[in-house]
């Protein structure tokens, strides 16, 4: 055994002396562990710096903060998918609540969904709708407010049942609508019959959310929390509070890109026996035993990928933020502790303070910005439009949304959160099951078993700016 240990140590010294164990960052970025499956993509293209260097005026500010404030004010006043919770009614009528339930939880006329391998039946949907407790809605409903205390999922129906599509893809829960993140505010309209779900409205979505995720508090306290001007912004894909053996409920709590966490205004001294010397001291919401809201001090390491306030809105920062999700696995409706295509776009642009719709079609048509339609264009005109787009512009198809990285030679590249793509290589269709965030060429992207170009199905592109 001793001889083996001596040999391994000697071998390690030999490798380090000969450079085999030493690599510069540039060398690591060019390292190709395996041949890349996506044609036209090289290892260096998998890093933000490559695309920033290919971008004209990458640090030019697209909108300054006063313009973003006006952008958001315009969005809230014009976009029906967005809700200003500060102006939300204190009370709703029975008819308004019932209408909200019906819009949130439509029963499909011909469902092709499965739970635990069994096709859902009318009796299953009867069970889901019964739990919506429509018969218990009062003539006048007092709206309550709350803060999400951890990341969770908002759902179509008040049920935890995982429901798959006809392909029975276990990664896709068809009842998942979107994620809710810690610190997000909701207006609470109704409670399910079993008491386990709230019908809750956040600024860009209405759906059912597990009661255990929401701490109910005073309306002003809730809204003041999310509107704090003195906050830490999460700029990494995910960060965590420090491990806390004293208060497990705030230990290693996850916050995702775009989350705003208020900074403490006064020095708290030690927080659960730990000095905040190497951390940011923040205020995070927790849920008390009776479901109420308590805001408590917590620590986030200064080594975390965070920023004091929003990032400058530049093409360089759009690219950098997008690449922080590279390689993250796809998550339908932001499930799987990840994101889907529109959740990816939303999280990236939220770091600049933009208020935007949740879903891709709404981001294309309802979000404020310059719109470039593909409708009615020939194939050549579509290619010309694609080549004219700038890094950070967003491209849409009927079921997908992508961030443009710009042109490189004759090709146009995108970064997006997708299940897969197809390319024709040497006359054969090659499918690449990406199932996550990746870089893809556009012009060589094929669909329909290689019979059509994907760009033939593009509907529009948008540049999120406010033109005065």
Over the chain (468 residues), the average pLDDT of each successive run of 10 is 52 51 82 89 96 98 98 96 97 98 89 89 94 98 98 98 86 94 98 98 98 98 97 98 96 98 95 96 98 98 98 98 98 96 98 98 97 97 98 97 97 96 88 94 91 96 92
Domain map of the chain by residue range?
43-59+312-463, 82-216, 228-309
Tell me whether the CATH fold assigned to 82-216 matches the one assigned to 228-309. Answer: yes
Give the tokens for residue 363.
């981001």
Give the tokens for residue 456.
């033939």
Helix extents (H) in 105-154: 122-130
- pLDDT score for 1: 57
Instruction: For residue 457, count CB atoms less than 10 angstroms from its CB and return exposed for 0-12, middle for 13-18, buried for 19 or more.
Output: middle
Q: In DSSP terms, which residues pair with 51 in a beta bridge?
A: none
Which contacts of 188-191 are long-range, i.e. CB under 8 A and separated by 24 or more positions? 188/143, 188/144, 188/145, 188/146, 188/214, 188/216, 189/92, 189/97, 189/100, 189/141, 189/143, 190/97, 190/100, 190/101, 190/132, 190/133, 190/137, 190/141, 191/133
Q: In DSSP terms, which residues pair with 271 in a beta bridge?
A: 274
- pLDDT score for 11: 47
CA pair distance 251, 180, nearest whole angstrom: 19
**CA–CA distance from 208 to each of 109, 141, 422 (Å)?**
21, 17, 36
How far the first Cα of the chain sits from its last, in Å, is 76
Q: Where are the beta strands (DSSP E) in 400-456?
A: 400-408, 411-418, 421-425, 428-432, 436-441, 446-447, 452-453
∠82-308-311 over CA atoms, to 5°?
A: 55
Q: In DSSP terms, which residues pair with 114 in a beta bridge?
A: 119, 164
- pLDDT score for 427: 84
Q: What is the pTM of this model?
A: 0.93
Pick from 254, 227, 258: which is nearest to 241 by CA?
A: 254
Give the tokens for residue 263.
């900074």
Torsion, Cα 93 98 101 105, to 10 degrees, reads -160
Query: Domain 43-59+312-463: which topology?
Result: endopeptidase fold (from Nostoc punctiforme) (3.90.1720)
Q: In DSSP terms, which residues pair with 299 in a beta bridge?
A: 281
Does the structural domain 82-216 have CATH classification 2.30.30.40?
yes
CATH homologous superfamily, domain 228-309: SH3 Domains (2.30.30.40)
Residues 6+ apart with CB under 8 A from 59: 312, 314, 316
Residues 6+ apart with CB under 8 A from 443: 383, 386, 410, 411, 412, 453, 455
Residues 6+ apart with CB under 8 A from 177: 153, 154, 155, 156, 205, 207, 333
Q: What is the pLDDT of residues 282-319, one digit of tens each?
A: 999 999 999 999 999 999 999 999 999 999 999 999 99
- pLDDT score for 59: 98
């Amino acid at each position: 055994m001793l001889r083996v240990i001596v040999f391994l140590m000697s071998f390690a010294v030999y490798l380090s002396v000969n450079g085999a164990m030493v690599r510069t960052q540039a060398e690591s970025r060019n390292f190709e562990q395996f041949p890349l499956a996506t044609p036209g993509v090289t290892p260096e293209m998998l890093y933000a710096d490559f695309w920033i260097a290919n971008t004209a005026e990458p640090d030019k500010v697209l909108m300054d903060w006063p313009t973003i404030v006006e952008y958001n004010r315009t969005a809230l006043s014009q976009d029906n998918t967005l809700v200003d919770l500060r102006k939300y009614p204190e009370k709703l009528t029975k008819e308004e609540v019932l209408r909200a339930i019906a819009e949130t939880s439509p029963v499909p006329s011909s469902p092709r969904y499965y739970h635990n391998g069994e096709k859902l039946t009318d009796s299953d949907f009867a069970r889901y709708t019964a739990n919506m407790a429509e018969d218990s809605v009062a003539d006048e409903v007092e709206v309550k407010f709350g803060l999400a205390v951890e990341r969770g999922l908002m759902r179509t129906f008040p049920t935890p049942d995982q429901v798959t599509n006809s392909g029975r893809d276990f990664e896709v829960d068809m009842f998942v609508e979107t994620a809710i993140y810690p610190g997000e505010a909701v207006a609470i309209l109704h409670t399910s019959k079993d008491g386990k779900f709230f019908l809750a409205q956040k600024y860009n979505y209405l759906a059912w959310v597990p009661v255990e995720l929401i701490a109910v508090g005073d309306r002003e306290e809730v809204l003041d929390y999310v509107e704090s001007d003195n906050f830490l912004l999460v700029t990494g894909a995910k960060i965590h509070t420090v491990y806390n053996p004293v208060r497990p409920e705030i230990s290693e709590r996850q916050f995702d890109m775009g989350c705003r966490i208020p900074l403490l205004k006064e020095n708290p001294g030690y927080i659960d026996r730990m000095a905040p010397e190497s951390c940011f001291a923040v205020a995070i919401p927790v849920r008390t035993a009776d479901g109420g809201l308590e805001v408590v001090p917590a620590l986030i390491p200064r080594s975390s990928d965070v920023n004091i306030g929003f990032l400058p809105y530049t093409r360089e920062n759009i690219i950098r933020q997008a690449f922080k999700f590279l390689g993250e696995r796809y998550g339908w409706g932001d499930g799987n502790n990840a994101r889907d295509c529109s959740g990816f776009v939303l999280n990236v642009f939220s770091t600049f303070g933009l208020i935007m719709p949740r879903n891709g079609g709404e981001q294309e048509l309802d979000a404020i910005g310059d719109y470039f339609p593909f409708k009615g264009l020939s194939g050549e005109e579509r290619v010309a439009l694609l080549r004219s787009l700038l890094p950070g512009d967003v491209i849409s198809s009927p079921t997908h949304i992508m961030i443009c990285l710009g042109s490189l030679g004759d090709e146009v590249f995108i970064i997006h959160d997708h299940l897969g793509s197809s390319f024709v290589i040497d006359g054969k269709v090659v499918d690449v099951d990406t199932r996550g965030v990746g870089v893809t060429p556009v012009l060589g992207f094929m669909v329909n078993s290689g019979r059509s170009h994907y760009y033939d199905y593009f509907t529009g592109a948008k540049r999120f700016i406010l033109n005065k």
